[in-house]
């Protein structure tokens, strides 16, 4: 038997539908929200020894919230993950309270645990170049090698998320001088395409055995379907082991490397924000901390008085 009452299950679905319609949340974000709120509602059912209807949810108090937070921490949920879960619960409650007409203060006033913001972990410039070169050596099949190189070149050369690179279709080829990318939250941005990326994609298209069409994915798997991101994650995992790079050398690290290397070369922070598609400049400012940390490392290693 489900731990969630039909009324709560319906309300959760209505909320997710409203997010999809109004806020253009991605499928991954909605799936995470669904999981977080479902887990919260299930806990409340067990905590009160009965399924929680909408009226019962309106009576959740500070003690209930503390019990949930304590249960999450005892289960090994980290501060960052718990803050994300609490954010999803608050968002759902804010919507539900407005819809049902109750006071959600007990939930909305719950403080998220403090955590240290993780800095991006970019690759060094020579490591990023070595990664692309080594990815090419991971397959004996030429078209697969050129495909993998094309994808990682787009990640590093254009600062794309892997989902953005793999969402390109045949209508985007041959790559123009700039791409219109739809990122998180439906936010659009224009990204310049460097010649190396265009050349890498052209090489792939010449060797790809699967016919291209305007609607189908640009990057194909072995059987001709859309390329799964796990394939790129896997090939990069093999390459980083050969290069002796840490586990943080992932496809997303190439996007971090794109931003960090631009900043190191004198790139404008606002321009980098636009290229990455960050809604807030504060997100992009994390890269200034990375650059400062690198400068301090050089200073401490090289200055006679350090």
Question: CATH number of the domain that 130 lies in?
Answer: 1.10.443.10
| Number of structural domains in the chain | 2
| Domain presence at residue 144 | yes
Active site residue 216: no
Q: Are residues 45 and 193 in the same domain?
A: no
**Per-residue pLDDT at 272:** 65
Same domain, 76 and 201: no
85 is catalytic: no
Q: Residue 128 and residue 257: Cα distance in Å, rounded?
A: 8
> Is pLDDT of 293 > 60?
no
What pLDDT shows up at residue 147?
A: 96
Render pLDDT for 90-102 as a digit per residue (tens, 0 to 9).
999 999 999 888 8
Burial label, 172 (beta-carbon count in 10 A; 0-12, 13-18, 19+): middle
Identify the active-site residue in 25, 85, 147, 161: 161
CATH number, position 85: 1.10.150.130
Catalytic residue among 184, 210, 238, 294: 184
In the chain, % of residues over pLDDT 90: 39
Q: What average pLDDT score do residues 192-218 get?
A: 92
State how far the Cα of 11 lies from the Cα of 85, in Å rounded to an integer.
18
Domain span at residue 164?
125-303
129 and 61 part of one domain: no
Lowest mean pLDDT among 113-122, 156-165, 251-260, 279-288: 279-288
In DSSP terms, 179 is beta-bridged to 191
Average pLDDT, the chain: 83
Please check whether residues 42 and 149 belong to one and the same domain.
no
> In this predicted model, what pLDDT tens digit does every residue of 124-169 receive, in sequence order?
889 999 999 999 999 989 999 999 999 999 998 888 889 989 999 9
> At 1, is the pLDDT very low, low, confident or very high (cuts 50, 70, 90)?
very low
Which of these is catalytic: 255, 270, 299, 301? 255
Is residue 118 in a domain?
no
**269 neighbors 139 (Cβ within 8 angstroms):** no
- Say whether 184 is catalytic: yes
Tell me the C-alpha distance between 261 and 265, whole Å. Answer: 6
Calpha distance 84→64 (Å, rounded): 18
Pair 70, 47: CB distance under 8 Å: no
Helices (H), 114-228: 125-135, 142-158, 162-166, 195-207
Same domain, 281 and 159: yes
Do 137 and 273 have their domain in common? yes
- What pTM was estimated for this model as a whole? 0.62
Same domain, 139 and 266: yes
């Amino acid at each position: 038997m489900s731990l969630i009452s039909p009324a709560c299950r319906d309300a959760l679905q209505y909320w997710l539908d409203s997010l999809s319609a109004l806020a253009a949340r991605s499928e991954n974000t909605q799936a995470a929200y669904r999981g977080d709120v479902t887990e919260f509602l299930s806990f409340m059912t067990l905590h009160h020894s009965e399924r929680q209807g909408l009226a019962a949810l309106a009576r959740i108090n500070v003690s209930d919230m503390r019990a949930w937070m304590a249960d999450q921490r005892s289960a090994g949920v980290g501060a960052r993950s718990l803050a994300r879960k609490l954010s999803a619960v608050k968002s759902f409650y804010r919507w539900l309270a407005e819809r049902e007409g109750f006071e959600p203060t007990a939930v909305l006033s719950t403080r998220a645990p403090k955590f240290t913001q993780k800095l991006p972990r970019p690759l060094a410039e020579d490591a990023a170049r070595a990664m692309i070169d080594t990815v090419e050596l991971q397959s004996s099949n030429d078209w697969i090698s050129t495909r993998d190189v094309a994808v990682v070149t787009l990640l590093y050369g254009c600062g794309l998320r892997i989902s953005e690179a793999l969402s390109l279709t045949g209508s985007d080829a041959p790559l123009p001088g700039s791409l219109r990318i739809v990122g998180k939250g439906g936010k659009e941005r224009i990204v310049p395409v460097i010649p190396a990326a265009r050349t890498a994609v052209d090489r792939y298209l010449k060797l790809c055995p699967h016919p291209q069409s305007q609607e189908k994915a640009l990057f194909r798997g072995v059987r001709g379907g859309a390329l799964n991101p796990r394939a790129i994650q896997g090939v990069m995992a093999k390459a980083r082991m050969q290069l002796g790079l840490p586990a943080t050398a992932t496809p997303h690290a190439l996007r971090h490397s794109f931003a960090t290397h631009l900043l190191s070369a004198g790139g404008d922070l606002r321009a980098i924000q636009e290229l990455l598609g960050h809604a807030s400049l504060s997100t992009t400012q994390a890269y200034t901390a990375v650059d400062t940390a690198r400068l301090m490392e050089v200073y401490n290693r090289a200055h006679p008085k350090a």
